[in-house]
Amino acid sequence: MMLCMIVFQADDDLKDIYLKWHKWMQEEKRYSPHTSSSYKTDLAMFFSFLNEHMAGTLNKKHLEDITIQDIRSWLTKLKTQEYTITSYARYLAAIRNFFRYLKRFENITNDSALNLKIKRRGRSLPKDLSFIDTQLAQDESFQVSKELWTQLRDFAIITLIYACGLRISEALSITKNDLKGQYITVTGKGNKMRSIPILDTAKDAIQQYLDHCPFNLESDAPIFLGTRGKKMNVSVFQSQIRKIRNNLGLPSSVTPHAFRHSFATHLLSNGADLRSIQELLGHKNLSTTQIYTSVDSKRILDVYNKSHPRN
């Protein structure tokens, strides 16, 4: 079986379970396309390892026989390929998710896989930009594209992400129907919708782009397009940001997501409360938003250490 160049051998019953699990993640659990696809690929990697480790085509009986030692052997192999701790955590989460599905829907139980402990590393602080750097990045967008409409497109996307705190996937999914008055409707993780105030500067940037876009845009279709008139790919915009940061000599931490981080930290620095920021960012749990208090505290400490006359 082939998935994203990951090959594994399994009998028809197990292949069918594998595909039903993926469909369940998408339709029942409503995982994002990125998460469900990543989990599916992660499990394919594990199955490919088991083909070699167990020397044969996999079947349902193998799923009951998998041991902690088998999983550790797989992680040891990954370690030689220099995967990160974050990757290990996701791979283990995919396996545990699959075996929970097996227990619930396929009457297959493997306690070793169900009780996997996922070691979490300390969460790294988000890397935000200064207000000046966000302005420089916006201006530099006019230097990394040749055509005016793509320059206006990149400028509008950066402005929108920073003005509204959007994920890049959310920004690239915006339609004309989502732009109403002083608010923008955003479809976030788990297809959850939220309404966010939109600044006039962002509305103006989007309108200038729309005025120059050479393609006809349906009201319910994404407005940000690539050069062939299709919805702009995330990787294309990431490439544009790499060009911008290289031109400006900014660090590698300047990614599309950095503008979302900057939105949150700048709001917090200017007195916004965490609950409001949580709603604007679309975070399910307040604990996710609270990391920005650490970012703000670190900035205050840096200013103190640089400015205090005793230092």
What is the separation of C-alpha 17 from the centre of its chain, rounded to a whole number of angstroms? 27
What is the DSSP code (8-state) at residue 242? H
Told to judge if 260 belongs to the known catalytic residues of this protein, a careful annotator would answer yes
pLDDT at 72 over 70: yes
Question: Domain boundary residue among 46, 81, 114?
Answer: 114
Among the options 40, 62, 261, 283, which is catalytic?
283
**CATH number, residue 110:** 1.10.150
Shared domain for 216 and 292, answered yes or no, is yes
Shared domain for 107 and 193, answered yes or no, is no
Told to judge if 167 belongs to the known catalytic residues of this protein, a careful annotator would answer yes
The pLDDT of residue 301: 45
Among the options 189, 212, 242, 299, which is catalytic?
189
Give the burial class of 102: count Cβ atoms within 10 A of its Cβ; 0-12 exposed, 13-18 middle, 19 or more buried.
buried
Average pLDDT over residues 172-190: 90
The pLDDT of residue 288: 63
pLDDT at 64 over 80: yes
Measured distance CA(263)–CA(167) in Å, rounded: 11
Q: Is residue 137 part of a domain?
A: yes
Among the options 167, 203, 245, 261, which is catalytic?
167
The structural domain count of the chain equals: 2
Shared domain for 288 and 170, answered yes or no, is yes
Told to judge if 212 belongs to the known catalytic residues of this protein, a careful annotator would answer no
- Would you say the pTM of this structure is higher than 0.75? no
Told to judge if 34 belongs to the known catalytic residues of this protein, a careful annotator would answer no
Q: Is residue 123 part of a domain?
A: no
**CATH number, residue 148:** 1.10.443.10
Average pLDDT over residues 268-294: 75
The pLDDT of residue 91: 82
Told to judge if 283 belongs to the known catalytic residues of this protein, a careful annotator would answer yes
The pLDDT of residue 303: 41
pLDDT at 246 over 80: yes
Q: Most distant CA pair in the chain: distance in Å?
A: 73
Shared domain for 165 and 193, answered yes or no, is yes
Told to judge if 91 belongs to the known catalytic residues of this protein, a careful annotator would answer no
CA distances for 54 relative to 9, 11, 13, 48, 65, angstroms: 11, 14, 18, 10, 10
